[in-house]
Amino acid sequence: MGNNEIKQLVITATLIFLMAPAFVLAYIFVYNKRKKMHIKEKALMQLTFDAEITKSQLEVQEQTMQTIGADLHDNIGQLLSLTSLTLNSIELENAPKARQKIDAAIDLTVRSIKEMRLLGKLLQGDQLIVLGLSEAIRHEINWIEKSGKYQVNYIIEGEMPAANSGDKDLILFRILQEVLNNIIKHAQATQLTIKLDYREPSLQLVVMDDGIGFNPDTLTAGQIGMGLQNIQKRAGIIGGYADISSHPDKGTTITVFIPYP
């Protein structure tokens, strides 16, 4: 090996030796920068998640108050008015008819008490924590059916895990309420199917209606804002996604998939 070759080898080795620390330092710098960005992104995601939980809690409370107000006015108020009318129409001179009307008034009063107890349960706090997601959905369906406008088929498949996720339950329940509100306002439906399907490690919520439907591809920005974007955003916050399938005059199906618990 000549002197020139030896010199070149020494120079190359020296350059590699000098550049190695620079590469290591650059790698450490990039790694730390990415780590800091990851920490910031994670903190931002947590803040977004916490904000969504708070927003969902407030919306569920508002929805509960609206439900209670409507039920007091439309159901319990009507029962009590009928009770009052029945009692005022009693003629004591005619004992058999009086007895019938008294029995009818008692029956109306008992029904009113039952309705008040249901409202009391609704006011006791977070029904998701008390009842669990599947029962909370059943409770919501009960109010929908009271209107007499909808036939609801509720299907539960799979066994929900004992270790649930209260935060995910809350957001998924709020998604359901949003979907039902959209159906009431826009769908002109009469039959609904709600399915809750747990297949480890994911949970699927499906809501189908037989309403007028729509073409998702032709919706304007304003029309998309009627809750569809919110449904997709909320599903994304808890690590899932929402699929919206609809056709004019053929109803709408909204399917939400989330990892669970």
Whole-angstrom Cα distance, residue 113 to residue 133?
A: 26
| 16 CB-side CA count, 13 A | 6
More confident position, 243 or 261: 243
Q: Taking a C-beta distance cutoff of 8 angstroms, is the pair 67, 122 a contact?
A: yes
Percent of the chain at pLDDT exceeding 70: 82
Task: Specify the pLDDT at position 36.
Answer: 75
Phi, psi of 220 (to 5 degrees): -80, 170
pLDDT at position 121, please?
A: 65
User: Is the pLDDT assigned to residue 54 strictly greater than 60?
Assistant: yes
Q: How far out from the chain centre does Cα 102 lie? A: 45
Q: Are 245 and 252 in contact (CB under 8 A)?
A: yes
Whether residue 99 is predicted with pLDDT greater than 90 in this model: the reply is: no
Average pLDDT score, the chain = 81
What tens digit of pLDDT does each residue of 225-260 get? 557 788 888 999 999 999 989 989 999 999 999 999
**Residue 226 burial (CB count, 10 A):** 15
C-alpha–C-alpha distance, residues 138 and 155, integer Å? 10
Other beta carbons within 10 angstroms of residue 159's beta carbon come to: 8
Give me the mean pLDDT over the 124-149 stretch. Answer: 77
The pLDDT value given to residue 6: 67
Q: At residue 254, what are phi and psi to the nearest 5 degrees?
A: -115, 125
pLDDT range class, residue 197, cuts 50, 70, 90:
very high
Q: Check residues 139 and 226 and name the one with the higher pLDDT.
A: 139
pLDDT tier for residue 127 given thresholds of 50, 70 and 90 = low
Q: Which of 37-46, 123-132, 150-159 has the lowest mean pLDDT?
A: 123-132
Through-space distance between the first and last CA atoms of the chain, rounded to whole angstroms: 69
Task: Choose the most confident range, by mean pLDDT, from 50-54, 58-62, 106-110, 219-223.
Answer: 106-110
Q: Looking at residue 89, what is its pLDDT?
A: 84
pLDDT of residue 124: 56
Q: What is the per-residue pLDDT for 205?
A: 96
Q: What backbone phi and psi angles, to 5 degrees, belong to 255?
A: -120, 125
Q: What is the mean pLDDT of residues 86-113?
A: 84
Domain ranges of the chain: 1-125, 129-261
Quick one: pLDDT at residue 175? 92
How many whole angstroms separate alpha carbon 174 and alpha carbon 188?
A: 21
Pairing of strands 241-246, 252-259: antiparallel
pLDDT band at 65 (very low <50, low <70, confident <90, very high): confident
Structure tokens at 160: 């929900």
Average pLDDT over residues 144-169: 87
In the chain, % of residues over pLDDT 90: 21
pLDDT digits (tens, 9 = 90+) for 75-92: 777 778 888 888 888 888
Per the DSSP assignment, residues forming a β-bridge with 206 are 195, 255
CATH of domain 129-261: 3.30.565.10
